[in-house]
Amino acid sequence: MSKQDGSSRQVTTGPVDDSATPILHVDMDAFFVSVELLSRPELRGKPVLVGGTAGRGVVAAASYEARRYGVNSAMPMSVALQRCPNAIVLQGDYPSYSTYSKRVMQIFGEITPLVEPLSIDEAFLDVSGARRLHGTPAEIAWTIRERVQAETGLTCSVGVAATKYVAKVASSRAKPDGMLVVPAHETVEFLHPLPVSALWGVGRVTEESLLRLGLRTVGEVAAMPPDVLERAVGPALAARLTHLARGEDPRAVHTTRVEKSIGHEQTFGHDLVDPVEIRRELLQLSGNVAVRLRKAGLVARTVSLKLRYGDFRTLTRSRTLGEPTDVARRVYDEASEALVGLIGDGQRVRLIGVRAENLRESGSGAMLWDPDEEWRDAERTIDQVSAKFGRGALRPASLVQRERDRQQRRDARAASAAARGASEGAAQPNPGRRGGDGDEPFDPTAAGWGW
């Protein structure tokens, strides 16, 4: 038995057939904010945001009180504060989030070994083999919610279903602090009234394509002739959406997570115009990606470039390598080639991203020669130096110049602010202002939240 309140929240409140629903999706509620509130209980019930305020900082998490104002994660902080001017902004504490995440995942692992973490605050569980010890899937879900709250002080929402997709939808419907069981025989009945945005993988662009076809619900997507859907979104996506709309999802819970791609992207505090400056940033991002590849013991066959302009137009370009690589110089060369024709003529760049895709284990498959051997040896030496002395101990000369340029800009802004302060102070003794708030230029290499 389930009930739906005045909002879209839907929870299970009584006996329900969970005999064929072994998949659980557990999602922590407003995780970053909730962890912060453990040490700041006076902020409970208030609109709280976690994220960066400098430059083009974004919202990493929002309390449910803030969400009522239309604020959500990944939103620019400037927009969030326009919608919710009385929001309390916290900078965030990743080490603390990681500590709580490990404890929550440990609780899951004590219930079943079949745990597939999706991110720091959510996971799939397969409880097929846990019934003898811990009860039915619904009882296990209830136990997990009780243990998480008792042992961490945090709340979570749990979806229980026959498939991963339906379990994930169910947990989102149960938020916050709820549980929703979708009996296997009621899967289609549960899915079909939902909006098309509930389909996994439907973003804004795909949703607009579906709406143009007159498709507003999952049920309407399920009933759409395949050839019509293919013309709108392409054959691969059409097939996936049709299966999901019918409640079909054969994916199992995997306990080992295989990296599908490794990437870094950066939103800048001010739009970049100078091609030299843009390529310096590209070099930094390529280096970050290569370091992560080597740490993971992976090589990439494809390098993807993402570019967002000042007007928010976004382009992606991919290049496939003759031989897979984990070398920053090769990643940069391919990304730089993909950049040709996309910058210049006054084009203002807001964001750059570099992603390594088509991954495989390093050393798998024989190569007749290694075109990156010398660069690889040099970069591994840099890895060793960095491990001993810290990142940045060795870096390309162009990136050293980039840091000098940034320092010069910071110095110039500080001098300008000091001059303004002196002028204002002469005219208005004791003006009572706090200098420097929000005036520091955004530094994408600094640890922080200005993503």
Tokens of 229: 């859907």
Euclidean distance between CA atoms 176 and 37, whole angstroms = 15
Cβ count near 169 (within 10 Å): 25
Euclidean distance between CA atoms 328 and 294, whole angstroms = 10
Q: Find out whether 165 and 249 touch, Cβ atoms under 8 Å.
A: yes
Euclidean distance between CA atoms 213 and 7, whole angstroms = 27
Q: Find out whether 321 and 330 touch, Cβ atoms under 8 Å.
A: yes
Cβ count near 196 (within 10 Å): 21
Is 121 annotated in a binding site? The answer is: yes
Euclidean distance between CA atoms 36 and 90, whole angstroms = 8
Q: Which amino acid is at 83?
A: R
Decide if 122 is catalytic: yes
Instruction: Choose the catalytic residue: 36, 65, 122, 281.
Output: 122
Q: Find out whether 444 and 266 touch, Cβ atoms under 8 Å.
A: yes
DSSP state, 225?
-
Burial class (CB within 10 angstroms; exposed 0-12, middle 13-18, buried 19+) of 341: exposed
Torsion angles phi and psi, residue 210, rounded to 5: -70, -40
Is 333 annotated in a binding site? The answer is: no
Q: Strand, coil or helix: what is 325?
A: strand
Which residues are designated catalytic?
122
Return binding residues for Mg(2+): 27, 121
